[in-house]
Amino acid sequence: MESKKAILALADGKVFQGCSFTGPGETWGEIVFNTSMTGYQEVLTDPSYTGQIVSMTYPHVGNYGINEQDMESERIRVEGFILREYHPVPSNWRSRQALSEFLTAAGVLGITGIDTRALTRHLRERGAMTGFISTEDLDPDSLVEKARRAPTLDNRDLVKDVTCKQPYVWVPDENGGRREFNPAAIEDWTRTRGRYRVAAMDYGIKFNILRLLAAHGAAVLVLPAATPPDEVLGYNPDGIFLSNGPGDPAAVTYVYENLRGLLGQRPIFGICLGHQMLGLAMKGSTFKLKFGHRGANQPVKDLTTGKIEITSQNHGYCVDMDSLAGQDIRLTHVNLNDNTLEGLADEKRGFFSVQYHPEASPGPHDASYLFERFIKLMRK
Partner 1 sequence: MPKRTDIKKILIIGSGPIVIGQACEFDYSGTQACKSLKDEGYEVILVNSNPATIMTDPDFADRTYIEPITPEIVAQIIERERPDALLPTLGGQTGLNTAVAVAEAGVLEKFGVEMIGATLDVIKKAEDRELFREAMGRINQRVPRSGIARSIEDCFRIAEELSYPLIVRPSFTLGGSGGGVAYNREDLEQIASLGLDLSMIHEVMLEESIIGWKEFELEVMRDRMDNVVIVCSIENIDPMGVHTGDSITVAPAQTLTDREYQEMRDAAIAIIREIGVDTGGSNIQFAVNPQTGEMVVIEMNPRVSRSSALASKATGYPIAKLAAKLAVGYTLDEIPNDITRETQASFEPTIDYCVVKIPRWTFEKFPGTEDFLTTSMKSVGETMAIGRTFAEALQKGLRSLEISRYGFFGDGRNRLDSDPALVEPEIIRSRLRTANSQRIFYLAAALKAGFSIEEINELTGIDPWFLYHFDRLVKRGREIEALGPLFGSPETAAARTDLAEELLRAKRDGFSDIQLAHMWGWKEDQIRSLRKSLGVNSVYKLVDTCAAEFEAYTPYYYSTYEEEDEIRSTDRKKVIILGGGPNRIGQGIEFDYCCVHASFALREMGIESIMVNSNPETVSTDYDTSDRLYFEPLTKEDVLNIIEKEKPLGVIVQFGGQTPLNLAVPLAEAGVNILGTSPDSIDRAEDRERFQVMLKKLGLVQPPNGTAMTVEEATKVAAEIGYPVVVRPSYVLGGRAMQIVYDVDSLAGFVRYAQEASEGHPILIDKFLEDAIELDVDAVSDGHRAIIGGIMEHIEEAGVHSGDSACALPPHSLSAQLIETIKEAAKAMAKELNVIGLMNVQFAVKDDELYVLEVNPRASRTVPFVSKATGLPLAKVATRVMLGQSLDDQGIFDEPAPKHVSVKEAVFPFNRFPGVDTILGPEMKSTGEVMGIDSEFGLAYAKSQMATGEMLPLEGNIFISVRDRDKKMAVKVARRFADQGFKIIATRGTAQAIAEAGVEVETVNKVFEGRPHVVDLIKNGRIHFIANTSLGHRTVIDSISMRRTALLYKIPYVTTMAGALATAQACEALRNHKITVKTIQEFHQVD
| Binding residues with partner 1: total (CB under 8 A) | 52
Helix, strand or coil, per DSSP, at residue 86: strand
From CA 75, how far away is CA 57, in angstroms rounded?
22
CB of 321 to partner 1, least distance (A): 18
Interaction pattern, residues 81-110, with partner 1; x per rule: CB under 8 A: ---xx-x-x-xxxx----------------
| Residue in 104, 116, 135, 243 binding partner 1, rule: CB under 8 A | 116
Residue 39 binds partner 1 (CB under 8 A): yes
CB of 258 or CB of 313, closer to partner 1: 313
Does residue 369 interact with partner 1 by CB under 8 A?
no
List 336, 347, 348, 379, residue binding partner 1 (CB under 8 A): 336
Chain centroid to Cα 57, Å, comes to 18
Out of 23, 59, 127, 261, point to the residue binding partner 1 (CB under 8 A): 59
According to the binding rule CB under 8 A, does residue 313 interact with partner 1? no
Verify binding: residue 121, partner 1, rule CB under 8 A: yes
Q: What single-letter DSSP state applies at residue 52?
A: E
Side-chain half-sphere of 146: how many Cα atoms within 13 Å?
Answer: 19
In 3D space, the residue among 360, 313, 367 whose CA is nearest the CA of residue 338 turns out to be 313
242, β-bridge pairs: 201, 270
Among residues 87, 122, 333, 357, which one is catalytic?
357
- The 8-class DSSP code of residue 48 comes to G
Assess whether the previous peptide bond of 362 is cis (omega < 30° from 0).
yes
- The SS3 assignment for 114 reads coil
Q: Which helix (H) or strand (E) holds 165?
A: none
Q: Which of 128, 341, 360, 378 binds partner 1 (CB under 8 A)?
A: 360
Q: Distance between alpha carbon 210 and the CA centroid of its chain, in Å?
A: 14
Return the active site residues: 272, 357, 359
Residues that bind partner 1 in the complex, under the rule CB under 8 A: 16, 33, 35-39, 41-42, 57-60, 63-64, 67, 69-70, 84-85, 87, 89, 91-94, 115-118, 120-121, 124, 295-299, 301, 306-308, 310, 336-338, 360-365
